[in-house]
Structure 1
Amino acid sequence: MAKSISIRSGLSSVLFWSVISAAFIGPGTVTTCAMAGSRFGPALLWALTFSTLGTIVLQEAAARVTIASGLSLGELLTKSYGSRIRWVMTTLFIAVALGCAAYQAGNILGAVSGLSLLTADFAFLSPQVLTLLVGTACVLLLWQGSTRLIANFMGLIVFLMGIAFAYVAAGTSPAATHLLTALVVPTLPTDSLVLVIGLIGTTIVPYNLFLGSGIGQTQSLSEMRWGIVLAVLIGGLISMAILLSGTLVTGEFSFVMVADTLAARLGNWAGALFGFGLFAAGFTSALTAPLAAAITAKSLLGWQENSGAYRAVWLVVMAVGLTFGLLGVKPVPIIILAQAANGLLLPIVTIFLLIAVNNKTLLPAPYRNRLWQNIALLLVVGVTAFLGLRNLWLALSA
């Protein structure tokens, strides 16, 4: 880290890169982490340690390539391989857009579920009304077009959400030695493999690489590293706090059960804070999924920001999410297809990234990977390839 970076610019960078944390902390993360804590206690915390560090490695590499070359990840791929892989670029965009559209419904429904817990006494606020309110707020924020404003707004929401879950997690009081062991020692309790894959997969997500490379061109290397490391660490700590909060829950898992259990154990404030955290997770992800799809289109297909095509991408993603949200159903077939597509997408993107950060033609020596960075990236690529094949197998089996 450059020592010349000021506290103000450092905090601003952390807030800016909190968009990455907001993207991976969604209702799916809340559900997976809380369920992992409910079923296995803190034993699976190590999966979040790995995935948090893996996210830092991947995001730093993607942003470093962009800062050094002046090109986003998609533009770099196009320049390196030209029209020969135009079909690959189109396929990658379709896969990302499909995944964003499919999971947007879950994001909106998660935000509405959190609001429903907070507004249970107001009968006129039906789920449909809350869905329209959430959707309208997202559209207004996205329409104004400033990714920095959106990033800063979501950073504040993530920070408040972190306080909420950390406050609840503090009530679990696990033994310090047990907690430290769970953070660094991998264990696989019986029937825990699917949740381990889920914990890693909800943190290391492929579209975040395009999202990060598409918004970070204006930063210096030191600002980028400072911002990504701290922002992702904060996101990882929030995920860990959610998992620890889940250790208080026993019996059948549901959002209402979690809120009621926390309220019974710690007081009404804990249930209310969980409701706020769930809303914040859903709302921030409901912003980042359409934004990530649009920025991916800009990166891979060259569509300019604020153009009609660019806005059409995020509007379609938002419309799909709102439609299924208003119907109160989940697009299960589309989610299964998106799971298969994104299962293949993640290792492919990480392999392209590994090649890019070692490209002597496009990157000056100070920006290329060192040996330890290549080892770390290869480890992440190996694990993500396993996750991708595993997710594909699960999707095909389903």
Structure 2
Amino acid sequence: MAKSKFSIGPAALVAAAFIGPGTVTVATKAGANFGFSLLWALLFSILATMILQEMTARLGVIGQKGLGQSIRELIKNPALKAISIILVVSAIIIGNAAYEGGNIAGATLGVQAVWDYPDFAGLDLAALIIGVIAFFVLLTGSYKLIEKVLIAVVLLMSVAFLVTFVLTKPDFGELFSGLLVPSLPDSATLTVIALIGTTVVPYNLFLHSSSAKKKWKTAEGLKQARQDIYISIPLGGLISIAIVSTAASAFFGTQLEVNSAADMAKSIEPAFGDLAQYMIALGLFSAGISSAITAPLASAYALTGLLNIPENLRSNKFRAIWMVILVVGVTVASLGLKPVSVIWFAQIANGLLLPIIASFLLWAMNQGFLGQYKNTLWQNLLGFLVVIVAFVLGAKSLLSAFKLL
């Protein structure tokens, strides 16, 4: 038998999805406000992501099922099935539309930090450019092209943020201490929740299972799928770590107020030069494109599976779903609307959805259709740990959204 050739694939889409401008902003604030001390939370979130995404890859490759399809098939009680589908569909539409708007708005702020461009017919030009790029990439209906574009975007983000990281000359002793020794400074709890919550996201579980199913059709592909996870997800984590470290090196302990990556782009130039400023803006713009493509795509995969619609990227129903998410996101960002209220809804949606979807995934991974590839005891224990953390994260997210935390 010929040896299978390894290639980066669906896990790169997951990395592209979780490294959006929202993640960049959270990582920037974490570094500026708490230095290197919260890097351990990123390390945990990357490990948790790898555990869950390995399960979704097995579900897609071995079971040849997307997670949405599995949820629909596993729940036999008609009333419970209807409630579950309505809950998940509502959360996905609200959550992904809100995150799409917030992420594109975040990307435009980064561009505005280095480029004073005019509006186009009263709309934000950068938001429109990002939206148009995402629209035509998704409109091709070619999974291979979408995958290649997102791999290129992830590599571009890697270069942009790693160059900035090198320019700020971080203290590697403090970096490794923050990475390996957990600590929780005063007022850091919500930032830890945000760091984990922007990495371990429920939409990626739908995206990965469906895209893995498309890429690999036999059990022989599982080795490639796992290699893909072990390279792509840590690379995404490395980008987040680089952003936290850059902000920590440049701003922690100073009097400068940095609330977003756009602030970092503006403030970093005097100390570290034009190159650092432009690299941050380039990284944010790339992150905006990655989010503008993956959020609508994940929504379409999730909803088609749940509603028993064929997962055909060229079908009108599939396209209608991602178009709605993309148009709402670009509209929120390009009209200059403050995304605070929609992000409030997104917090609620994510808080409800993450532990529920993680539990559904764990349930699916113990079903007989997976044969010898269903979860082992250790995989169940690790998955259960992630579900518990997801539940606590979701509860705190909801309390935060309702101003009770």
Question: Which residue, out of 45, 54, 68, partners 1:60?
Answer: 54
Distance 1:322 1:175 in 2: 39
Amino acid at match of 2:83: W
Q: For 1:375, which of 365, 373, 381 is the aligned residue?
A: 381
- Between Structure 1 and Structure 2, how many residues are aligned? 389
TM-score normalised by the chain length of structure 2: 0.91
Output the amino acid matched with 1:252. Answer: E
Cα separation, 2, equivalents of 1:265 and 1:117:
16
Aligned to 2:231: 230
Q: Equivalent residue for 1:282?
A: 288
TM superposition shift of 1:353: 1.1
Give structure 2 stretches of 5+ with no counterpart.
Answer: none
Aligned to 1:252: 257
Between the aligned partners of 2:151 and 2:113, the Cα distance in structure 1 is 23
Distance 1:257 1:72, change over 3 A: closer
**Are 1:313 and 2:321 an aligned pair?**
yes
Q: Which residue of 2 aligns with 1:198?
A: 194
* Residue in structure 2 matched with residue 351 of structure 1 by the alignment: 359
Equivalent AA in structure 2 for residue 233 of structure 1: P
The answer to whether structure 1 residue 25 and structure 2 residue 19 are counterparts is: yes
How big is each residue's C-alpha offset from its partner over 1:179-214, in whole Å with a ceiling of 9 and x where there is no partner?
A: 222112211001111100000000000010001111
Query: What CA RMSD, in Å, does the superposition of the two structures yield over aligned residues?
Result: 2.0
Please list the CA deviations of residues 76-132 of structure 1 after superposition, one character each: whole Å capped at 9, or x if unmatched.
222222353133123212211210111111122122223323433x55778622222
Mapped to 2, the partners of 1:141 and 1:184 lie a distance apart of 40
1:118–1:275 contact (8 Å) kept in structure 2: yes
2:279 aligned to which of 267, 270, 273: 273
- Contact 1:103-1:321 within 8 A present in 2 as well: yes
Q: Does 2:324 align with 1:324?
A: no
Aligned pairs for 1:67-146 within 5 A: 67-82=61-76, 84=78, 85-120=81-116, 128-146=124-142
**Which whole-Å deviations, capped at 9, do the CAs of 1:323-372 have from their partners, x for residues lacking one?**
2122201343332223112201100111111121122x22112x122222
Measured in 2, the distance between the counterparts of 1:77 and 1:132 equals 35
Instruction: Check if 1:49 corresponds to 2:43.
Output: yes
Contact 1:97-1:317 within 8 A present in 2 as well: yes
SS in structure 2 of the partner of residue 362 of structure 1:
helix
Letter in 2 for 1:370: T
Contact 2:269–2:276 (CA under 8 A) maintained in structure 1: yes
When structure 1 is superposed on structure 2, of 75-84 and 319-328 the one drifting more is 75-84
Task: Say if 2:178 is the partner of 1:182.
Answer: yes
8 Å CA contact 2:133, 2:289 repeated in 1: no
Residue type at the aligned position of 2:228: G
Shift of 1:170: 1.8
Please tell me the residue identity of whatever aligns with 1:19. Answer: L
Contact 2:131 2:330 in 1 (8 A): yes
CA contact (8 A) 2:67 2:302 kept: no
TM-score by length of 1: 0.92
2:351 aligned counterpart, secondary structure: helix
Residue 4 (structure 1) shift? 4.1
AA paired with 1:136? V
Of 315-324 and 232-241, deviating more is 315-324
User: Given the alignment, which residue of 202, 206, 213 partners 2:209?
Assistant: 213
- Is the deviation greater in 321-330 or in 80-89? 80-89
- 1:160 and 2:156 are equivalent in the alignment: yes
Q: 1:116 and 1:175, CA in 2 relative to 1: closer, same or farther beyond 3 A? A: closer
C-alpha distance in 1, partners of 2:90/2:390?
20
Question: Aligned equivalents of 2:210 and 2:394: distance in 1?
Answer: 24
- Distance, in Å, in 2 between the alignment partners of 1:214 and 1:52 is 21
C-alpha contact 1:164 1:276 (8 A) present in aligned 2: yes
Shift of 1:178: 2.5
